[in-house]
Amino acid sequence: MANFGTERVYQEFEPATRWTSEPDAEILVADLPGFKKEQVKVAVTSTRKLRLTGERPTGGNKWIRFHQEIPVPLTVDIDSVSAMFKDYKLYIRHPRIKTETPQTKPPAPVKPTVVAKPHDQHEAKQSHGSKPNDQLKHDAQQKAGEVKSGKEGLASEPKGTLSSKDHDEKDKVGAKWFEKYKESTGNMVKEAKSKRQLLCNVTASIVLVLLILLYARNAVRSSLVWNSEE
């Protein structure tokens, strides 16, 4: 009969693990000899660690167990972890985080520059600016005549430089005009002073006459007063 009251005796086991890479994921492989799928547990902790646990009987009250925590790379998505158990091996797949590459716009096409051919330029000049030969000769003769007449006109014009005699005559005329201006202003000042003096004399005479009349009036009044008293 089996004894159900006996306690289990555990033997610690550390499985061998290794990482393998795929184009879109990192895979952790753990070797678990003798274990079955239902005897193994896989969990992801809040500290980004992969927790592997499991236990199985080895006979009687003896058991073998393991407990292991493995850090998860920062480049993988812990919310999409998946596990598969096959041939005593545990495969834990960690998909990589997808990074969106910025889309670059293709360069705008450059329009080719159209260069006119020398033959086309020559034809355009002929179509816009062509003249008969007789007209060209007539214009050349007319311009030559204008240049010749201009040279003769320049040769016949007198020189514009002034001699020293002309400067002396201009200085004398200016001095005469200044003397006349000074004399006229002096006479005006003298006339103004004489008129002012005359006005002062007339005013003084009028005041004197008024004083004499006032004095005579007062004298007549005083004589009348004395006569009335007598």
Among 30-34, 52-56, 61-65, 149-153, whose mean pLDDT is lowest?
A: 149-153
Give the C-alpha separation, 88 to 90, whole Å. 7
User: CA-CA distance, 83 to 41, in Å (whole number)?
Assistant: 10
pLDDT digits (tens, 9 = 90+) for 4-41: 557 899 999 999 999 999 999 999 999 999 999 999 99
Quick one: pLDDT at residue 1?
41
DSSP for residue 96: B
Rounded Cα–Cα distance for residues 189 and 219 (Å): 46
The overall average pLDDT reported for the chain is 77
Distance CA 81, CA 50 (A): 10
Q: Which residue has the higher pLDDT, 58 or 174?
A: 58
What pLDDT score was predicted for residue 225?
53
Predicted pLDDT at 95: 94
**CA atoms of 74 and 27, how far apart (whole Å):** 14
pLDDT at 209: 87
Amino acid at 111: K
Q: What is the mean pLDDT of residues 142-156?
A: 61
User: How is domain 9-98 classified at the CATH fold level?
Assistant: Immunoglobulin-like (2.60.40)
The pLDDT confidence band at residue 70, using thresholds 50, 70 and 90, is very high
Type and span of the H or E element at 190:
helix 164-229
Q: Check residues 170 and 176 and name the one with the higher pLDDT.
A: 176
**Residues 39 and 53 sit within 8 Å (Cβ to Cβ):** no
Structure-token pair, residue 160: 């514009």
CB 9 within 8 A of CB 64: no
| Residue 94 predicted with pLDDT over 60 | yes
Across the range 178-183, mean pLDDT stands at: 74
> What percent of the chain clears pLDDT 90, i.e. is strictly above it?
33
Check residue 115 and give its pLDDT: 60
Stretch 112-129: mean pLDDT, rounded? 57
